[in-house]
Amino acid sequence: MKARIFRASRRDLLKGTAALSLAGAFPLPAIAQGAPLKVGFMLPYTGTFAKLGKFIDDGFRLAVEQKGGKLGGRAVEYVQVDDESEPAKATDNMNRLVGRDKVDVVVGTVHSGVAMAMAKVAKDNNSFLVVPNAGANDVTRTMCAPHIWRTSFTNWQPCFPMGKVMYDAGHRNIMTITWRYAAGLEDVEAVKESFTKLGGKIVEELYLPFPQVEFQALLTQIAQKKPDAVFAFFAGGGAVKFVKDYAAAGLKTSIPLYGPGFLTDGTLPAQGPDAESIKTTLHYADALDNPANKAFLAGFKQKTGQDGDVYAVQGFDAGQLLEIGLSAVQGDIAARDKMFAAMQAAKINSPRGPISFSKAHNVVQNIYLREAKGGLNRYVSVAHEALADPALGCRAAA
């Protein structure tokens, strides 16, 4: 009996050893080992877009917390990289997240130039990327891919409807002013496309390098040229300074200022009365009257003590989209075909209104005309309903 027991345990021991070496050769997938899902945030936590990055991060975490700290039933672990809105460091930062930290999905970023470098690394490495702000058109145009998604907008989307808004307000000769980088250039192209098609004229395009905020010389040019109106793209700290400088230069009362909503979103407390009555177009408005927005704003306030804005919404929706994809595969992020199919079919009641995803994996969404009044970007009308980016150059969308 004893011998038999001995033989049996020896066999077990050998089996165990074989199993162990098999496990060494063929390690169990992370999900089978109960490992948490690794989310890599590549966002600006410093610089002119610091608040934008923090709000995206907070919005995403809020969505996860509302699912009990899990996505698709798996606990979530975060790795954060401050990308500093610095395109020159973007490739190294992205490689660090996917190569060294081996995150399951990268969520980032805010700056279009940084996002283009991230999309290139994602394409080269077949890594899963969700963009929660940067609007660089090509991320979901020429760079579109099964594993690249965006929960924000293309730069074209909020700006194309603005051409008609400005024309309908009676403006015929306008100037533009922005930072000279992908987002600024693409915003100006989009408003120019619709405004000039209607018969309007862009009398001059003014640029300064990102993230400079020395606006004085350019504001003097606007005062001298006296256009009917000005279209401006700035965001974060740069938008605060621009709106204040525009008013201080005496232009606010004589030359109406317009722009994509980034000019006044998340910035009104700092801009104060200088932002009053500025009209912008965006896929979100502060007090949008829908249950999802009310619940989101209450949850965000409770979590952070702050008022949510468009950036927080985009982070929140990145979490919501991942939850839909990962639930379809019970957290098995390696089951990509099934997960991406669920994300493609997603219809989300976002705080911004109903959204879905185009074949290029960009958001199809309403663009609202808003007016800054009493510290809120108030809804005025729907400037364009369910607007999809044309996704030029994306074969999946053709």
Q: Which stretch binds ligand BEZ (CB under 6 A): 105-113, 332-340, 353-361, 369-377?
A: 105-113
A 10 A CB-CB count for 148 gives: 22
- Residues in 136-155 that interact with ligand BEZ by CB under 6 A: 136
Closer Cβ to ligand BEZ, 104 or 265, answer by number: 265
Closer Cβ to ligand BEZ, 280 or 320, answer by number: 280
Shortest Cβ 251–ligand BEZ spacing (Å): 22
Q: Binding of ligand BEZ at residue 247 (CB under 6 A)?
A: no
Q: Cis bond leading into 146, ω under 30°?
A: no
Q: Binding of ligand BEZ at residue 183 (CB under 6 A)?
A: yes
Q: Binding string to ligand BEZ for residues 349 to 378, with x set by CB under 6 A, is what?
A: ------------------------------
The vertex-60 CA angle with 364 and 302, nearest 5°, equals 115
The vertex-151 CA angle with 146 and 156, nearest 5°, equals 95
Q: Binding of ligand BEZ at residue 235 (CB under 6 A)?
A: yes
Shortest Cβ 63–ligand BEZ spacing (Å): 20
Among residues 110, 145, 219, 285, the one that binds ligand BEZ under rule CB under 6 A = 110
Distance CA 281, CA 258 (A): 8
Shortest Cβ 325–ligand BEZ spacing (Å): 24
Tell me which DSSP letter residue 191 carries. Answer: H
Shortest Cβ 173–ligand BEZ spacing (Å): 26
- Residues in 21-50 that interact with ligand BEZ by CB under 6 A: 49
Nearest to 314 by CA among 269, 279, 365: 365
Distance CA 33, CA 27 (A): 9
Q: What are phi and psi of 66, to 5 degrees?
A: -70, -10
Q: Binding of ligand BEZ at residue 134 (CB under 6 A)?
A: yes
Among residues 55, 195, 231, 262, the one that binds ligand BEZ under rule CB under 6 A = 262
A 10 A CB-CB count for 85 gives: 27
Closer Cβ to ligand BEZ, 49 or 357, answer by number: 49
Nearest to 359 by CA among 325, 394, 329, 324: 394
Closer Cβ to ligand BEZ, 111 or 352, answer by number: 111
Q: Which stretch binds ligand BEZ (CB under 6 A): 97-105, 106-114, 276-284, 347-355?
A: 106-114
| CA atoms within 13 A of residue 231's CA, in its CB half-sphere | 35
Shortest Cβ 135–ligand BEZ spacing (Å): 4
Place of tokens 């949850």: 299
Site size for ligand BEZ (CB under 6 A): 11
Q: Which stretch binds ligand BEZ (CB under 6 A): 98-106, 110-118, 269-277, 283-291?
A: 110-118
Q: Which stretch binds ligand BEZ (CB under 6 A): 55-63, 132-140, 166-174, 212-220?
A: 132-140
Distance CA 19, CA 25 (A): 10
Q: Binding of ligand BEZ at residue 230 (CB under 6 A)?
A: no
Q: Is residue 349 packed enough to be buried (19+ CB in 10 Å), middle (13-18) or exposed (0-12)?
A: middle
Count how many residues are written for the chain. 398
Q: Binding of ligand BEZ at residue 185 (CB under 6 A)?
A: no
Q: Which element (helix H / strand E) includes 173? A: strand 173-179
The vertex-298 CA angle with 295 and 302, nearest 5°, equals 135
Closer Cβ to ligand BEZ, 111 or 141, answer by number: 111
Distance CA 21, CA 322 (A): 35
Among residues 44, 62, 112, 259, the one that binds ligand BEZ under rule CB under 6 A = 112
Sort residue 85 into left (φ over 0), alpha (ψ -120 to 50) or beta: left
Closer Cβ to ligand BEZ, 49 or 340, answer by number: 49
Q: Which element (helix H / strand E) includes 369? A: strand 363-373
Q: Which stretch binds ligand BEZ (CB under 6 A): 66-74, 107-115, 193-201, 332-340?
A: 107-115
Among residues 40, 72, 108, 135, the one that binds ligand BEZ under rule CB under 6 A = 135
Tell me which DSSP letter residue 28 carries. Answer: P
| β-strand partners of 332 | none
Closer Cβ to ligand BEZ, 267 or 358, answer by number: 267
Please give the order of strands across the beta sheet that includes 148-150.
70-71, 74-82, 37-43, 105-107, 129-131, 148-150
Binding site for ligand BEZ (CB under 6 A): 49, 110-112, 133-136, 183, 235, 262
